[in-house]
Chains A and B, each alone.
Chain A
Amino acid sequence: MKPEEQLSKIQNVESFEAKVGAQLGGPLRATSITTLQVNVGKLCNQKCKHCHVDAGPDRTEIMERPTFEKLLKLAQSPQITTVDLTGGAPEMNPHFRWFVSELRALGKKVIVRCNLTILMVGRQNADLAQFFADHRIHVVSSLPYYEKSWTDRQRGEGVFDRSIQALKLLNSLGYGKSGTGLELDLVVNPPGAVLPATQGTLEPVYRESLKRNHSIEFSRLITITNMPISRFLEFLERSGNLESYLETLVNAYNPATLEKVMCRDLISVSWDGWLYDCDFNQMLELKVDPSVGATHLDQIESIEQLNRRPIVMRNHCYGCTAGSGSSCGGQLD
């Protein structure tokens, strides 16, 4: 579904932009950009039902070396402390290891949004987990449920078993173990048209179950709201849940979350170098506000240009402000 069509399907609720504008007396603005979130391509070994990127094995969009080089230049700014790599499966990009090594040499914290199964696929990935540990990468991985049922239903047949193998491998290298400094966070998104539970509700259940049944440990559990875009939007429409889900998001609007939404200190870069306020705006092709003076890596002179920019908002943003709030780092309060 094209981005304009997606946006049109979620427009029949109170305008998020107008609501926030009335609350703040003007647009929501970024603060100081500390995180570069880089979507290195849409290629993935999985095809998850909720994926907002519409990623999969058949996608060909992939970041090339010159774009990575421009990002390295941008990342040199001391203002950038963290580079957050996502996809698709970011590890499937042929420049992944080189880029990570360069970032670590610059002293940047590197987050990889790893789907876990990629660690268990193919000879070329046999030492990937060790590469993560050697470069002290912060691994953030989706595991929507602590059992096979909902995990495979959402992410594909056999994904749970391979994810468990991958988590055991990461644990064996020190990931998720206290005192190692190797962070392993699990991401839980709801199994359907409901808001996520609080992290405080789910984390003890996951921790106990994964430990008891699989001897697996992890650092933190983070919850993320399903955004009403792309494949999840198609599901909402197909299942007759669209109206009620939007109503749930709107009714759960929590103004306090605006302080901490991720677009305020993050810039999202697409595989072809365009700049966005977040990965969701990227998929909806909503580029950064033109007042920045640069909407592409080729045009940007310094990261400071992106500070204080007005955030481009549409109704999908209700997903980040519902209840406890939601971001790539989990709930906001």
Chain B
Amino acid sequence: MSNNHGPDCYYQGKDLKKFGDITKHSPDLGKKFFDYYSAVFAPGALTEREKSLIALAVAHAVQCPYCIDAYTTDCIQKGCDEAQMMEAVHVTAAIRGGASLVHGVQMMNHAEKKLL
């Protein structure tokens, strides 16, 4: 994460290293989460590389700065170049944009019902 944020910014790059601290007040649930997290990203029906690109796309959908930094690094490490990462971000944009636009059908249905 870039460090050009002021000290009062909610998001601090160095805080990503503290992610493991979420186990502090709920160790059992925290441990279950991290075990699950590790299992999710292990190679399975999808490769680690494919999962990393999916994570990058989802990181943009949920707009998590920590996740965007972490999975950009991870994707680079796994051999995904900028073109591949940008295509993943376009998948995010397409789904987000599409999710808005498809509600246009709802609008049109409702309008059709209301109008003479």
Mutual binders A and B: yes
The answer to whether B81 and A194 touch across the interface, beta carbons within 8 angstroms, is no
Check B73 for interface membership: any CB of A closer than 8 A. Answer: yes
- For the complex formed, measure the closest distance between the CB of A91 and the CB atoms of chain B, giving whole angstroms: 28
- For the complex formed, measure the closest distance between the CB of B17 and the CB atoms of chain A, giving whole angstroms: 9
Chain B residue nearest in CB terms to A323: B77
| B73 in complex: contacting residue of A194, A196, A205, CB < 8 Å | A194
Q: Which residues of B contact A195 (CB under 8 A)?
A: 77
The answer to whether A147 and B77 touch across the interface, beta carbons within 8 angstroms, is no
Q: Please encode chain A, from 178 to 210, with 1 for each CB lying within 8 Å of some chain B CB and 0 for all others.
A: 000000000010111011110001101100000
The answer to whether B77 and A197 touch across the interface, beta carbons within 8 angstroms, is yes
Give the tally of cross-chain contacts (CB within 8 A).
Answer: 35
The answer to whether A149 and B82 touch across the interface, beta carbons within 8 angstroms, is yes
The answer to whether A201 and B79 touch across the interface, beta carbons within 8 angstroms, is yes
- For the complex formed, measure the closest distance between the CB of B13 and the CB atoms of chain A, giving whole angstroms: 9
Check B76 for interface membership: any CB of A closer than 8 A. Answer: yes
The answer to whether A192 and B76 touch across the interface, beta carbons within 8 angstroms, is yes
The answer to whether A149 and B81 touch across the interface, beta carbons within 8 angstroms, is yes
Chain B residue nearest in CB terms to A153: B81
Q: Which residues of B contact A240 (CB under 8 A)?
A: 3
Check B83 for interface membership: any CB of A closer than 8 A. Answer: yes
Tell me the complex Cα distance, A194–B77, Å.
6
Chain B residue nearest in CB terms to A240: B3
The answer to whether A150 and B49 touch across the interface, beta carbons within 8 angstroms, is no
Tell me the complex Cα distance, A259–B78, Å.
26
Q: Which residues of A contact B3 (CB under 8 A)?
A: 240
The answer to whether B81 and A150 touch across the interface, beta carbons within 8 angstroms, is yes
- From A191, A196, A197, A202, name the one whose CB has the most chain B CB atoms within 10 angstroms: A197
Tell me the complex Cα distance, A178–B76, Å.
31
Chain B contact residues: over half helix, strand or loop, or mixed?
helix
Chain A residue nearest in CB terms to B48: A201
The answer to whether A205 and B76 touch across the interface, beta carbons within 8 angstroms, is no
Tell me the complex Cα distance, A146–B84, Å.
13
The answer to whether A191 and B76 touch across the interface, beta carbons within 8 angstroms, is yes
The answer to whether B81 and A147 touch across the interface, beta carbons within 8 angstroms, is yes
Q: Which residues of B contact A147 (CB under 8 A)?
A: 81
Within B56-105, which residues are at the interface with A (CB < 8 Å)? 73, 76-79, 81-83
Q: Which residues of A contact B82 (CB under 8 A)?
A: 149
Check A68 for interface membership: any CB of B closer than 8 A. Answer: no
Q: Which residues of A contact B73 (CB under 8 A)?
A: 194
The answer to whether B76 and A190 touch across the interface, beta carbons within 8 angstroms, is yes
Tell me the complex Cα distance, A121–B7, Å.
54
- For the complex formed, measure the closest distance between the CB of A296 and the CB atoms of chain B, giving whole angstroms: 40
Given contacts A201-B47, A205-B49, contact A190 B81 (CB under 8 A): no
Chain A residue nearest in CB terms to B79: A202
Tell me the complex Cα distance, A77–B48, Å.
45
Check A145 for interface membership: any CB of B closer than 8 A. Answer: yes
Tell me the complex Cα distance, A191–B82, Å.
11
The answer to whether A145 and B79 touch across the interface, beta carbons within 8 angstroms, is yes
The answer to whether A197 and B81 touch across the interface, beta carbons within 8 angstroms, is no
Q: Which residues of B contact A194 (CB under 8 A)?
A: 73, 76-77
Tell me the complex Cα distance, A147–B79, Å.
10
- For the complex formed, measure the closest distance between the CB of A186 and the CB atoms of chain B, giving whole angstroms: 12
Chain A residue nearest in CB terms to B2: A240
Chain B residue nearest in CB terms to A247: B17
The answer to whether B78 and A197 touch across the interface, beta carbons within 8 angstroms, is yes
Tell me the complex Cα distance, A202–B52, Å.
13
The answer to whether B76 and A201 touch across the interface, beta carbons within 8 angstroms, is no
Q: Could you pull out 21 A-B pairs where Cβ atoms are within 8 angstroms?
A: A145-B79, A149-B81, A149-B82, A190-B76, A191-B76, A191-B81, A192-B76, A194-B77, A195-B77, A197-B48, A197-B49, A197-B78, A197-B79, A201-B48, A201-B49, A201-B78, A202-B78, A202-B79, A204-B47, A205-B49, A205-B79
Binding site for A on B (CB under 8 A): 3, 47-49, 73, 76-79, 81-83
Given known contacts A145-B79, A191-B81, what 7 new A-B pairs fall within 8 Å (CB)?
Answer: A188-B79, A194-B76, A194-B77, A195-B77, A201-B49, A202-B78, A202-B79
Q: Which 6 pairs between the two chains have the least Cβ-Cβ distance?
A: A194-B77, A197-B78, A149-B81, A194-B76, A197-B77, A202-B79
